[in-house]
C-alpha cells in the first residue's frame, strides 16, 4: 500500500513539475533581457580571465557586483545552445522547476505526504517565483540551492548523520555565492531547525552546528578569497564598490547600502505617496513602484510585489500554517500528535514528532526573518523575496494539509476563517467579482462543506478510508481556492511578458543599430570600440558587438578612467570615439556620470559626430580630440551623412 501511495505521490508531483516547467518556459523568448548581466555573460565567453571574474566588458577592466557562479551556468548554456535571450534564461527556468520536486521531498519528510504535495503546488504556481524564473537574473538559482540545503538538513535530522548537515551548509554557501546576503534570509531558520532536530546533548549539538557553520563560511567566501590570489593589477574593478574590491561590492554595495536604501538603482522609480497611479489594468498596476516600507507592504494590491504575486499565499500560509505549528510545539499533545503523524508513515513516531517540531520552529523563524526584512527594507526588488519563498510554500502546504484533516473542531474553525479571508482578500485584489473570484468562492464553499461533513459524519474509526478520501478532496478544493488568484497572475504575467530583471544598459534599438554600424565602420585599428560615459549605460551594445570598451565611470559617477588616462589612450590610437547618452544639468548631482571630469572633458574638446552617424539627437557620439580623422564614408546604414 505504501509503495503504491508513493508512486501516486510522485506521479502527482511529476504533473506539478511539468506544470511548473510550462509556466516558466512558455513564450520565454518574448521576455525582455537584462543587458547588464547579459553583457557580462557575453564577455565571459571570450576568455578564462573574464569567465572567472565575471567581467562586464570584453576587455576585462570591470566586473559585475556579485560572484559570477550563476553566470557560469549561463555561459555554459549559451556555449551549448548559442547566445540568445532564451538560452540566457535556461538555468533560471531549470532551477525554478526543480525547486518543486525538491520542496516536495523536503516537506514530505518534515511533515506528511499531503503537506509535501500542497507545498509543491504552492511553489509551482507562486507568481513571484514564476516571474523570477522567467527572468535572466540569478535569484531562482539561489532559491533552488536554498531548497537543496533544506532537503539535506531534513536528511541530517532524519538520520542524525553529520555528513548531511555539512552538505546542507555547503549548499547554502553556494547559494551565498549566487546572490550573497539574500541567501542569508534562510540561515537563522535553518540553524534553529538543525539545533532543534539533531540528537544528543546540548554541547554535542552546538559543536555539530558550529562545524556546519565553518563549512558554510569556507564555501561562502571561497570565490571572494580566490580573487585575492590574483595580483590586484589583474583584477577587474567590481562595479558598485568604492575601492574596486569584490569584497566591498559584496558586503557594502550589496549589503549595508541595499538595506539602508543608499544609492538607488540607475533609472529606478520610487513610489510617491499621494500620486495618482493608473490602476485600470493589471499591466498598469504592475508598473507602479513598490510601496514604501510598512507592515502591510507584502499584502498591497498594487505594484510588482502585489498580493496576487505573493501576498495571498503568504497570508494563507500564516493563517493555516501557524496553528499547525502551534499544535506541534505544544507540549501536552505529544501522544495524539504521534498517532496522527504516523497514521500513514512507517517511521519511528518519536522521530516524526521531533522532525515536525524542529521544522515548525525553523520555518517560523525563516518566515519571520523574511517578513520583517522585506516589509522594512528600503531598497527592495520583487526578486529579493526568493530568499523566503520556499518557507512560504512549505508553510502553506503544511497548513493546508493540517486544516483539511477530518479530526478536530479547532482545525475546522481555522479552515473556515481562512477560507473566508481568502474570498474577501480575492475580491480586494481583483477589484470586483470576475470569474476568478467565483472560482475561489465556489471552491471555498465546497471545501468548507466537505470538511464539515468529514468532521461530523466521517469522524469515527470505522470510516477511516472514506474519511481519507474526503480529506484528500478537501485538500484539493482548498488548494484551488488558495491558488486560483496566483495562477491567474501567472497567466497574466506570461501574456504581458513580465520580467523582474532590470533594463540597466538598454539602449533604444534604432540608436544602438546606428551607433554600432558607425563605430564598426570607423573604428579602424583601435583596440576599444568606444569610451562609454558609464559602464551601466551601454550593456546592450556590449551584448550585440562583444568588443572592449573604455569605461569612464563605474557607478554613481565614480571616475574609473581619468582625463590623463583617456588622453593617453587616444594618443596611442587605442580609442577614437566616446558615447555620452545622458546630460549634465546645471544643478548636477555628484553621482551623475554625465557630470564626471572625463565626460565634461569629452564634451568640451571632442567633435560631435552624432549627425554623421545618423542619430536624431546631437551631443551623443563624439570623435575624440587627437584621434585620426575618420575616412570619408556614407552614413550608418547606407544613408548619407546628416
* CA 65 – CA 52 distance, rounded (Å): 13
Condensed to tens digits (0 to 9), the pLDDT of residues 335-375 reads 555 555 555 555 677 788 889 999 999 999 999 999 999 99
C-alpha cell at 489: 497572475
* CA 509 – CA 512 distance, rounded (Å): 5
C-alpha cell at 96: 525554478
Residue 269 pLDDT grade (very low, low, confident, very high; cuts 50, 70, 90): low
Condensed to tens digits (0 to 9), the pLDDT of residues 517-549 reads 999 999 888 999 999 998 888 999 999 999 999
Residue 638 pLDDT grade (very low, low, confident, very high; cuts 50, 70, 90): very low
Across the range 148-170, mean pLDDT stands at 96
Comparison of pLDDT for 334 and 188, the residue scoring more: 188
Residue 621: what are its φ and ψ, rounded to 5°? -115, 130
Across the range 88-115, mean pLDDT stands at 96
**What ranges do the domains of the chain cover?**
2-30+65-264+288-495, 509-638
What integer pLDDT is reported at residue 271 of this predicted model?
67
Q: Is the pLDDT of residue 633 over 90?
A: no
* CA 498 – CA 603 distance, rounded (Å): 38
The CA radius of gyration of the chain, in Å to the nearest whole number, is 27
CA distance to 74, 100, 129, 140, 225, per residue, from 144 (Å): 15, 9, 11, 6, 24
Residue 103: what are its φ and ψ, rounded to 5°? -70, -40
Give the closest residue to 209 by CA, choosing from 174, 264, 245, 162.
162
What integer pLDDT is reported at residue 639 of this predicted model?
38
Three state DSSP letters for 375-399 = HHCCCCCHHHHHHCHHHHHHHHHHH
Centroid of chain to Cα 542: 24
Q: Are 590 and 557 in contact (CB under 8 A)?
A: yes
Condensed to tens digits (0 to 9), the pLDDT of residues 401-418 reads 999 875 778 888 999 999
Q: Is the pLDDT of residue 18 over 70?
A: yes
* CA 71 – CA 91 distance, rounded (Å): 9
What integer pLDDT is reported at residue 457 of this predicted model?
66
What integer pLDDT is reported at residue 627 of this predicted model?
72
Q: Give the DSSP letter of residue 536.
A: G
Q: Is the pLDDT of residue 471 over 80?
A: no
Give the closest residue to 599 by CA, choosing from 537, 533, 531.
533
Length of the chain: 642
CA distance to 51, 215, 461, per residue, from 211 (Å): 32, 6, 47
**Packing angle of the helix pair 349-376, 334-341 (nearest 10 deg):** 100
Q: Are 629 and 607 in contact (CB under 8 A)?
A: no
| Helix, strand or coil, per DSSP, at residue 338 | helix
Q: Is the pLDDT of residue 432 over 80?
A: no
**Facing residues of 550 across strands?**
531
Across the range 421-434, mean pLDDT stands at 82
Comparison of pLDDT for 344 and 381, the residue scoring more: 381
Comparison of pLDDT for 453 and 622, the residue scoring more: 622
Q: Are 2 and 469 in contact (CB under 8 A)?
A: no
By mean pLDDT, which of 25-29, 394-398, 481-485, 503-507 is the weakest? 503-507
C-alpha cell at 558: 565614480
Residue 640 pLDDT grade (very low, low, confident, very high; cuts 50, 70, 90): very low
What integer pLDDT is reported at residue 641 of this predicted model?
36
Q: Give the DSSP letter of residue 29.
A: G
C-alpha cell at 623: 570623435
Residue 400 pLDDT grade (very low, low, confident, very high; cuts 50, 70, 90): very high
| Helix, strand or coil, per DSSP, at residue 559 | strand
What do you get for the CA distance between the two ends of the chain, in Å? 80
Q: Which residues contact 372 (CB under 8 A, 6 or more apart)?
A: none
Structure pTM?
A: 0.91
Q: Are 6 and 110 in contact (CB under 8 A)?
A: no
Per DSSP bridges, beta strands 550-551 and 577-579 are: unpaired
Q: Is the pLDDT of residue 132 over 60?
A: yes
Condensed to tens digits (0 to 9), the pLDDT of residues 180-224 reads 999 999 999 999 999 999 998 999 999 999 999 999 999 999 999
Q: Is the pLDDT of residue 4 over 50?
A: yes
| Helix, strand or coil, per DSSP, at residue 47 | coil
* CA 181 – CA 280 distance, rounded (Å): 36
By mean pLDDT, which of 380-384, 432-436, 458-462 is the weakest? 458-462
What integer pLDDT is reported at residue 343 of this predicted model?
52
Q: Is the pLDDT of residue 100 over 90?
A: yes
Residue 98 pLDDT grade (very low, low, confident, very high; cuts 50, 70, 90): very high
Q: Is the pLDDT of residue 615 over 70?
A: yes
- Portion of the chain with pLDDT greater than 70, in percent: 87
Q: Are 301 and 428 in contact (CB under 8 A)?
A: yes
Mean pLDDT across the chain: 87
**Neighbour-count burial of 631, counting CB atoms closer than 10 A to its CB (0-12 exposed, 13-18 middle, 19+ buried):** exposed
Q: Give the DSSP letter of residue 214.
A: H
* CA 484 – CA 265 distance, rounded (Å): 34
* CA 131 – CA 18 distance, rounded (Å): 16
C-alpha cell at 25: 518556459
Across the range 542-562, mean pLDDT stands at 92
Q: How many CA atoms lie within 13 A of 582 on its CB side?
A: 24
Give the closest residue to 197 by CA, choosing from 248, 148, 154, 136.
154
* CA 188 – CA 559 distance, rounded (Å): 39
Condensed to tens digits (0 to 9), the pLDDT of residues 281-323 reads 666 766 777 888 888 889 988 888 888 999 999 999 999 999 9
**Facing residues of 577 across strands?**
623
What integer pLDDT is reported at residue 68 of this predicted model?
95
Amino acid at each position: 500500500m505504501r509503495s503504491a501511495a508513493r508512486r501516486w505521490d510522485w506521479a502527482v508531483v511529476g504533473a506539478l513539475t511539468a506544470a511548473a516547467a510550462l509556466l516558466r518556459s512558455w513564450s520565454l523568448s518574448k521576455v525582455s533581457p537584462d543587458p547588464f548581466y547579459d553583457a557580462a555573460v557575453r564577455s565571459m565567453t571570450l576568455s578564462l580571465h573574464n569567465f572567472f571574474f565575471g567581467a562586464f566588458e570584453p576587455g576585462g577592466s570591470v566586473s559585475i557586483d556579485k560572484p559570477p557562479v550563476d553566470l557560469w551556468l549561463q555561459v555554459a548554456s549559451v556555449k551549448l545552445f548559442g547566445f540568445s535571450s532564451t538560452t540566457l534564461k535556461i538555468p533560471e527556468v531549470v532551477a525554478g522547476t526543480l525547486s518543486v520536486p525538491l520542496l516536495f521531498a523536503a516537506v514530505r519528510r518534515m511533515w506528511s505526504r499531503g503537506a509535501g504535495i500542497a507545498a509543491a503546488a504552492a511553489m509551482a504556481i507562486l507568481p513571484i517565483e514564476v516571474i523570477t524564473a522567467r527572468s535572466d537574473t540569478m535569484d531562482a538559482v539561489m532559491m533552488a540551492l536554498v531548497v537543496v540545503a533544506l532537503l539535506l538538513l531534513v536528511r541530517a535530522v532524519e538520520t542524525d548523520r553529520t555528513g548531511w548537515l555539512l552538505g546542507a551548509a555547503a549548499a547554502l554557501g553556494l547559494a551565498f555565492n549566487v546572490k550573497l546576503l539574500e541567501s542569508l534570509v534562510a540561515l537563522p531558520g535553518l540553524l534553529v531547525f538543525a539545533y532543534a532536530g539533531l540528537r544528543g546533548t546540548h554541547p554535542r549539538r552546538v559543536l555539530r552546528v558550529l562545524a556546519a557553520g565553518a563549512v558554510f563560511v569556507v564555501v561562502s567566501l571561497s570565490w571572494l578569497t580566490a580573487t585575492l590570489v590574483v595580483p590586484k593589477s589583474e583584477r577587474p574593478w567590481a562595479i558598485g564598490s568604492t575601492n574596486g574590491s569584490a569584497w566591498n561590492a559584496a558586503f557594502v554595495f550589496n549589503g549595508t547600502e541595499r538595506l539602508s536604501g543608499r544609492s538607488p538603482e540607475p533609472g529606478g522609480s520610487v513610489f510617491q505617496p499621494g500620486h495618482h497611479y493608473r490602476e485600470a489594468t493589471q499591466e498598469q498596476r504592475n508598473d507602479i513602484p513598490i510601496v514604501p516600507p510598512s507592515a502591510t507592504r507584502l499584502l498591497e494590491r498594487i505594484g510588482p510585489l502585489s498580493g496576487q504575486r505573493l501576498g495571498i499565499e503568504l497570508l494563507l500560509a500564516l493563517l493555516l500554517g501557524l496553528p499547525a505549528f502551534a499544535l506541534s510545539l505544544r507540549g501536552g499533545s505529544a501522544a495524539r500528535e504521534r498517532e496522527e503523524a504516523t497514521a500513514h508513515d512507517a517511521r519511528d513516531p518519536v522521530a516524526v514528532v521531533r522532525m515536525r517540531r524542529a521544522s515548525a520552529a525553523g520555518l517560523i523563524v525563516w518566515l519571520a526573518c523574511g517578513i520583517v526584512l522585506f516589509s522594512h527594507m528600503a531598497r527592495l526588488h520583487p526578486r529579493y523575496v526568493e530568499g523566503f519563498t520556499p518557507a512560504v510554500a512549505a508553510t502553506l502546504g503544511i497548513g493546508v494539509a493540517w486544516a483539511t484533516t477530518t479530526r478536530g473542531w479547532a482545525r475546522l474553525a481555522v479552515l473556515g476563517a481562512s477560507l473566508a479571508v481568502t474570498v474577501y482578500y480575492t475580491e480586494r485584489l481583483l477589484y470586483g467579482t470576475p470569474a476568478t473570484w467565483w472560482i475561489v468562492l465556489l471552491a471555498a464553499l465546497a471545501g468548507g462543506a466537505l470538511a464539515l461533513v468529514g468532521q461530523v459524519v466521517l469522524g469515527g474509526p470505522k470510516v477511516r478510508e472514506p474519511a481519507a478520501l474526503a480529506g484528500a478532496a478537501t485538500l484539493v478544493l482548498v488548494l484551488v481556492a488558495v491558488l486560483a488568484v496566483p495562477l491567474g497572475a501567472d497567466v497574466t504575467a506570461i501574456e504581458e511578458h513580465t520580467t523582474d530583471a532590470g533594463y540597466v544598459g538598454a539602449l533604444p534599438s534604432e540608436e544602438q543599430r546606428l551607433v554600432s554600424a558607425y563605430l564598426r565602420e570607423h573604428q579602424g585599428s583601435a583596440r576599444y570600440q568606444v569610451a562609454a560615459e558609464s559602464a551601466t549605460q551601454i550593456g546592450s551594445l556590449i551584448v550585440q558587438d562583444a568588443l572592449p570598451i573604455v569605461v569612464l565611470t563605474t557607478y554613481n559617477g565614480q571616475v574609473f578612467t581619468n582625463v590623463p588616462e583617456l588622453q593617453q589612450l587616444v594618443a596611442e590610437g587605442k580609442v577614437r570615439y566616446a558615447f555620452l547618452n545622458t546630460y549634465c544639468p546645471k544643478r548636477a548631482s555628484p553621482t551623475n556620470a554625465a557630470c564626471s571630469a572625463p565626460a565634461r572633458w569629452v564634451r568640451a574638446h571632442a567633435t560631435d559626430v552624432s549627425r554623421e552617424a545618423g542619430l536624431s539627437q546631437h551631443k551623443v557620439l563624439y570623435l575624440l580630440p587627437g584621434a585620426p580623422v575618420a575616412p570619408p564614408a556614407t552614413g550608418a546604414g547606407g544613408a548619407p551623412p546628416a
